[in-house]
Amino acid sequence: MKKEVLYNKKSRELLTEELRQEPFERLTCSFYRYIHIDNPELFRDELYRNWNAFDIFGRIYVATEGINAQFSCPEHHWEAFKKNMDSTTTLAKMPLKIALQPGESFYKLTIKVKDEIVAYNLEEDEYDMQHVGRHLTAVEFNRALENQDTVVVDMRNYYESEVGRFTDAIIPDVDTSRELLPEVKRLLHGKEDNTVLLYCTGGIRCEKASAYLVHHGFQNVNQLGGGIIQYAHDVKAMGLKSKFIGKNFVFDARMGERVTDDILGVCHQCGKPADTHLDCGNDACHILFIQCDKCNEKYAGCCSAECKEFASLPVAKQRLFRKDPEKVVSRARYSSRVKPRLNDLN
């Protein structure tokens, strides 16, 4: 009996071209839920069958502790897709966060079973998901930011905060989720009795982070309900002043959604104001970096002159050089800060 294939086998080039030829629009969306899943592998396979039937594209992580999903759905399948979600106990009545801006986000469906749905690498005795921080609305979060005893913490990685953040937020100097919680606890030492406000892209990182801080003795932990995405929707709908400025970094091909017109980042090559993240055009590099329009033209979407030169070589020669690490361009030559590879983002 032929085994069912529950993953995509087409090339990236073909999938990308098929996406661009689609005669319909897609909605990009995200959600998460901490809920016990007895058999993540079985749940993963059932989810793939269901979502593939709706032409869903995206990146979904499943673990015993729950599900974390970022995806796009064809508009004409949206209502049927939501009905299908509500038909399952695990996904019923799921709060769905629609992207702030449209654009090509994902080109295939990838569903993976993980140890954690956010890669904090925590031991089970370091948190209790039954005791998390209080979820605040946009109005409540704005009001809390005005209190003198409030400490606001960005629960994202440094490269996300480079292009957008809440004013006066503590920005942990980390590049991966694994480094984040110990660093936040260190930065908040002595502030256990302060009002702590946490925020992240969609709320999932704050959920476990708040449980971690509560477990470690912080008395008044709060989190932005629905994250920056929901906050941006709400301040616009209610006519509030956005206290989040700049762009919201997102983990898909768009790499950012503009919330306000403020440009907080700088080009990693020339230092001029810029907030467009790119995946280096050199396939042997793929560093994530910020580049202005002028440098984009100068370096052909690459992070350095060396990468531009390497990317201009015939593909056969590039493949030959990749077999010799000394001939592949160093990934840290253009900045004192080593930027993550796009494929390594959590």
Q: What is the per-residue DSSP string for 63-96? A: ETTEEEEEEEEEGGGHHHHHHHHHTSTTTTT---
The pLDDT of 271-294, averaged and rounded, is 93
Q: What does the alpha-carbon distance between residue 209 and residue 184 come to, in Å, rounded to a whole number?
A: 9
Q: What is the dihedral of CA 268, 272, 275, 276, to 10 degrees?
A: -70
Q: What does the alpha-carbon distance between residue 29 and residue 237 come to, in Å, rounded to a whole number?
A: 18
The pLDDT of 263-284, averaged and rounded, is 94
pLDDT at 156: 93
Residue 2 pLDDT level (bands cut at 50, 70, 90)? very low
Residue 31 pLDDT level (bands cut at 50, 70, 90)? very high
- Side chain identity at 143, as an amino acid letter? R
Are residues 45 and 6 in contact, defined by beta-carbon separation less than 8 angstroms?
yes
Q: Long-range contacts made by residues 325-328, C-beta under 8 angstroms, separation at least 24?
A: 328/284
pTM: 0.88
pLDDT at 4: 65
- Helical spans, DSSP H, in the chain: 12-20, 40-53, 78-86, 138-145, 158-161, 177-187, 204-215, 227-238, 293-299, 305-311, 315-322
Active site residue 200: yes
Query: Could you give the percent of the chain with pLDDT greater than 90?
Result: 75
Task: Flag whether pLDDT at 325 surpasses 70.
Answer: no
User: Of residues 73, 200, 267, 292, which has the active-site annotation?
Assistant: 200
Q: What does the alpha-carbon distance between residue 83 and residue 85 come to, in Å, rounded to a whole number?
A: 5
Residue 17 pLDDT level (bands cut at 50, 70, 90)? confident
| Mean pLDDT score of the chain | 90
Closest CA to 232 of 205, 208, 251, 256: 256
What is the DSSP pairing of strand 134-136 with strand 97-98?
Answer: unpaired
Question: What's CA 264's distance to the chain center, in Å?
Answer: 19
Task: Flag whether pLDDT at 333 surpasses 80.
Answer: no
Residue 328 pLDDT level (bands cut at 50, 70, 90)? low
Specify the CATH number for 12-113; select among 3.30.70.100, 2.40.50.1040, 3.40.50.300, 3.40.640.10: 3.30.70.100
- 45 token code pair: 């396979």
List residues bridging with 29 in a β-sheet.
Answer: 71, 98
In the chain, where are the structural domains located?
Answer: 12-113, 124-238, 277-344
Instruction: Convert the pLDDT of each residue in 179-189 to its tens digit.
Output: 899 999 999 99
The pLDDT of 121-136, averaged and rounded, is 93
| Torsion sign over Cα 114, 117, 118, 121 | negative
pLDDT at 342: 40
Instruction: Convert the pLDDT of each residue in 158-181 to its tens digit.
Output: 899 999 999 999 999 887 888 899
- 108 token code pair: 């295939």
Instruction: Convert the pLDDT of each residue in 93-127 to its tens digit.
Output: 999 999 999 889 999 999 999 999 998 988 889 99
pLDDT at 97: 95
Q: 204-215 vs 177-187: helix axis angle to the nearest 10? A: 40
Q: What does the alpha-carbon distance between residue 316 and residue 334 come to, in Å, rounded to a whole number?
A: 26
Q: What does the alpha-carbon distance between residue 103 and residue 341 come to, in Å, rounded to a whole number?
A: 22
The pLDDT of 224-245, averaged and rounded, is 97
- Side chain identity at 169, as an amino acid letter? A
Closest CA to 328 of 341, 344, 309, 345: 309
Domain topology for 124-238: Oxidized Rhodanese; domain 1 (3.40.250)
Q: Which of 5-9, 235-239, 306-310 has the highest mean pLDDT?
A: 235-239
Residue 77 pLDDT level (bands cut at 50, 70, 90)? very high
| Torsion sign over Cα 285, 291, 294, 296 | positive
pLDDT at 239: 96
